[in-house]
Amino acid sequence: MYIIGENIHIISEKVKEALKNKDREFFMDLAVKQVEAGAKAIDINLGPRKKDWAEVFPWIVETVEAVVDVPLSIDTTNVDGMEAALQKITKSQPILNSTSAEPERLEKIPLLAKKYNAKVIALTMRSEGIPVEADARVTIAVEQLIPRMMEIDLPMENLIIDPLVLTVSGCQQYCPHLIETVRTLQYAWDPAPSISVGLSNVSNAVPNENRPLVNRVYLAMLMGVGLQMMIANPFDEEQNQVIQWIETKDVSTPLAKVYNKIAERTENSEEPQMEDFDMSDPQQAEIWKTTQILLNKVIYADSYLMN
């Protein structure tokens, strides 16, 4: 699993504070720790920085590249800021996060990727919004995103499609569709583009104590259909454990077996069955309930584990 570490994100109060103080140590430390925890790239989301982009984007690139060699994912809606960051990058091939099928972004961002030999994440989203159905999202990739890259001669290996994970709390019906989108996108073109998702979006607005569980179960399903890249928190040890179990097909413990079974069922286009779980084990019972929520079989509620 190629994890793009998500922790340098302006939504975090600590990051906000550190940015205000131009605290180089903080960002260096956070970058190094993510790489040590297994992140293969580092996402940098400091917002659009409308006023100080010319200063902030080069500064953060220089700061982070001083301590790590991995690719940086420049995560902003500010195209000028993106270019300012690209000009400063000296180490690995960067990632632009992101374009979509919205005309203005699809016009500009891939050209930047081309000019600076960057990879580009492209969201299956149009100006009208995000379609629910898997087919419609694949269609956006095949009819708009991929053709645009071909039009400007951007190599397919530089395209990463993000089919957009949405939260189970409020957009529950999208969750099973996303799984099918990830499955289908791998066969949508030859050579296949890479696919990446923002995993923790699935548990947005879910109470904090349940978020890691929701993320892990969804991850097992997505790995079942072949997901190999995601923007995620590399410090989540239980998540990393699940990745390892599924990647090595390790079934040596009851939990390892259960997560592998979820991946296997999803791979075979089957639904997890109650008999796959030892319901007398509270952890397994919680995982079962979480599969039912994510597959839109049972209506989500914050206290769904009590149901």
Partner 1 sequence: MPIEIPKDKWAGSIKAITIGATSAEGGTRAKAVTVGGGTTMPYLQFEAPTPNKPVIAIEIKSRKPEDWSPLLAEVWGEAMADSAQWAKKAEEAGADLIVLALTVEDNPEDAVKAVKSVLGATGLPLIVWGPGQAEKDNELLVPISEATKGERLVLGICEDKNYRTIVATAMANGHLVQARAPMDVNLSKQLNILISDMGMPKDRILMDPTTGALGYGMEYGYSVMERLRLAALQGDAMTQFPMIVTPGFEAWKTKEAKVGEGVPQAWGDWKARAINWETLTAIALIESGADVVVLRHPESVKRIKEAIEELITA
Q: How far is the CB of 307 from partner 1 (least distance, A)?
A: 5
Q: How far is the CB of 182 from partner 1 (least distance, A)?
A: 24
Residues that bind partner 1 (CB under 8 A): 169-170, 172, 297-304, 306-307
The smaller minimum CB distance to partner 1, of residues 259 and 277, is found at: 277
Give the pair of three-digit tokens for residue 179.
Answer: 């799984």
The set of residues, in sequence order, having a beta carbon less than 8 Å from that of 306 and lying 6+ positions away, is none
Positive/negative CA dihedral, 211, 214, 220, 225: negative
The smaller minimum CB distance to partner 1, of residues 60 and 206, is found at: 206
Q: How far is the CB of 177 from partner 1 (least distance, A)?
A: 17
Q: Cis (ω within 30 of 0) for the bond into 191? A: yes
SS (H, E, C) 60-81: HHHHHHCCCCCCEEEECCCHHH
Q: How far is the CB of 170 from partner 1 (least distance, A)?
A: 7
The smaller minimum CB distance to partner 1, of residues 267 and 271, is found at: 271
Contact assessment for residue 70 and residue 39, using Cβ atoms and an 8 Å cutoff: yes
The smaller minimum CB distance to partner 1, of residues 268 and 303, is found at: 303
Please state, in angstroms and rounded to a whole number, the distance separating the CA atoms of residues 307 and 305: 5
Q: How far is the CB of 48 from partner 1 (least distance, A)?
A: 31
The smaller minimum CB distance to partner 1, of residues 127 and 173, is found at: 173
